[in-house]
């Protein structure tokens, strides 16, 4: 009977932790709860007199109240630490390192910003990789239907809808908690031209029957790592099929341009080139450090070449001028559902 109870407890604990406790109260609350239960159990199991036990319980209660007050103070100052079903997310106010302007940022990694907005001009885009997405209209003039894989703070969809009254955009974001944070702290509002799908990007692509002028990819499950199943040849074929005849796909990749840390970029580029007739790379980092990790934007066109003319915006023209002309080494195979060592390529540990 004891063994059966132990097994049942393990099963209940596994499912309760994965589907209820972590998803709703969150990891910090769970740790505090477990610590509190252990402390209370120790108090009642001790041989101290009632006065000692009461004093210990009071101390535990005061510690809990202190933690609660501290969290409340952080929230009042704009710092939010949230556990969603899929990730721990930090939201807080900061400053743009280039301009010094106040910003609000979203992080899933303590040292790297995933999304951001300017507090004084919320429609302007903070991150260079997100600003590069505005080249979609340069690559596909008059583009109306856009698909964004990975919502983040929804800064690009908000700008697109505000600046292009004819545009519509579908956003596929796995984590509903990310969307809730975007609504609460990043100005995301309901819009009939915006549709949000909370599901895996590959699942969406597999069932999708619509066609888009532009598809944007901004998916990460860690700072550098991309879920392997959205960069395989089979996934890229789904993207190809989801584009209109003159459509383009723009994908944000974090990798080195050359060297061992560039294997992931070379693999993704080879995979897209196996499906698309035109593939170009636009590194956004320093040209003097090709082996350093940086944002590299991959642009693939379904038919025909990319335009030769530069856009009128000076910054966008600079982005286009950064097109990588040097051929990449062909030392890695095309990624497939059967073989896609993305983590090994990204970490470059072996």
What's the whole-model pTM score?
Answer: 0.85
Q: Is the confidence at residue 196, as pLDDT, over 80?
A: yes
Rounded to whole angstroms, how far apart are CA atoms 277 and 61? 65
C-alpha pair distances (Å), 178 with each of 17, 87, 156, 222, 223: 20, 9, 15, 14, 16
| CATH fit for domain 128-347, picks 3.40.50.410, 1.10.10.10, 3.30.1330.60, 3.40.50.150 | 3.40.50.150
- Residues 293, 286: Cα–Cα separation, whole Å: 10
Query: Residue 50 has what pLDDT?
Result: 78
Task: Supply φ then ψ for residue 130, to 5 degrees.
Answer: -75, -40
Q: What is the pLDDT of residues 78-111, one digit of tens each?
A: 789 998 888 889 999 999 988 999 999 999 877 7
Task: Give the pLDDT confidence score for residue 347 in this predicted structure.
Answer: 86
Domain spans of the chain, in order of start = 2-76, 128-347
Q: Is the pLDDT of residue 70 over 60?
A: no
pLDDT of residue 20: 72
Q: Which secondary structure element, helix H or strand E, spans residue 314, and what is its range? A: helix 314-321
The CA angle 107-113-117, to the nearest 5 degrees, is 95
Using DSSP, state whether 344 is helix, strand or coil.
Answer: helix
- Confidence (pLDDT) at 13: 80
């Amino acid at each position: 009977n004891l063994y059966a109870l132990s097994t049942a407890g393990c099963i209940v604990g596994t499912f309760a932790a994965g589907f209820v406790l972590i998803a709703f109260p969150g990891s910090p609350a769970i740790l505090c709860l477990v610590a509190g239960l252990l402390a209370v159990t120790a108090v009642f199991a001790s041989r101290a007199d009632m006065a000692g036990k009461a004093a210990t319980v009071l101390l535990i209660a005061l510690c809990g109240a202190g933690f609660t007050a501290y969290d409340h103070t952080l929230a009042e100052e704009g710092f939010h630490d949230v556990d969603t079903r899929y990730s721990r997310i930090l939201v807080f106010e900061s400053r743009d390192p280039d301009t010094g302007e106040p910003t609000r940022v979203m992080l899933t990694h303590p040292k790297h910003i995933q999304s951001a907005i300017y507090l004084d001009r919320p429609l302007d885009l903070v991150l260079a990789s997100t600003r590069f997405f505005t080249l979609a209209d340069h690559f596909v003039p008059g583009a109306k239907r856009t698909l964004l894989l990975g919502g983040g703070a929804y800064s690009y969809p908000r700008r697109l809808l505000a600046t292009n009254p004819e545009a519509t955009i579908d956003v596929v974001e796995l984590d509903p908690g990310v969307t809730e944070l975007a609504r609460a702290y990043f100005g995301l509002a309901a819009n009939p031209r915006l549709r949000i799908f909370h599901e895996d990007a590959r699942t969406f692509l597999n069932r999708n029957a619509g066609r888009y002028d532009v598809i944007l990819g901004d998916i990460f499950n860690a700072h550098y790592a991309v879920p392997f199943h959205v960069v395989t040849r089979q996934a890229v074929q789904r993207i190809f099929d989801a584009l209109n005849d003159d459509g383009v796909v723009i994908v944000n990749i974090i990798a080195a341009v050359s060297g061992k840390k560039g294997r992931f970029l070379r693999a993704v580029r080879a995979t897209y080139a196996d499906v698309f007739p035109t593939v170009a790379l636009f590194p956004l980092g320093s040209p003097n450090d090709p082996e350093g990790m940086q944002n590299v934007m991959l642009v693939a066109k379904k038919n025909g070449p990319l335009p030769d003319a530069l856009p009128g915006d000076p910054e966008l023209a600079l982005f286009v001028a950064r097109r990588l002309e040097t051929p990449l080494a062909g030392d890695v195979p095309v990624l497939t559902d059967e073989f896609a060592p993305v983590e090994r390529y990204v970490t470059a540990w072996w």
